[in-house]
Amino acid sequence: MNHNTVKIVNELQAKMYVKHGLKPIEVFWGFDTWVFVFDKQASKPFFDKWCKHELN
């Protein structure tokens, strides 16, 4: 387990990250869905905005 990455399985959330400029480190098929892997530190501002419903 890499503690420097986060795995996102919510496709809308991952798409919003990418739309706003964050590139995934890796994308793979797992658990019957796409899994997007992002750098943990780089994704923090995007996660904060996602939680506040500010990514659109």
3-state DSSP assignment of residue 12: helix
**pTM reported for the whole predicted model:** 0.89
3-state DSSP assignment of residue 2: coil
Token pair, residue 36, equals 């997007």
Which pLDDT tens digit goes with each residue over 2-48? 799 999 999 999 999 999 999 999 999 998 999 999 999 999 999 99
Helix extents (H) in 1-56: 11-19, 40-51
The residue whose two tokens read 């590139």 is 23
What is the 8-class DSSP label of residue 3?
T
Token pair, residue 7, equals 């795995």
Token pair, residue 5, equals 């990455």
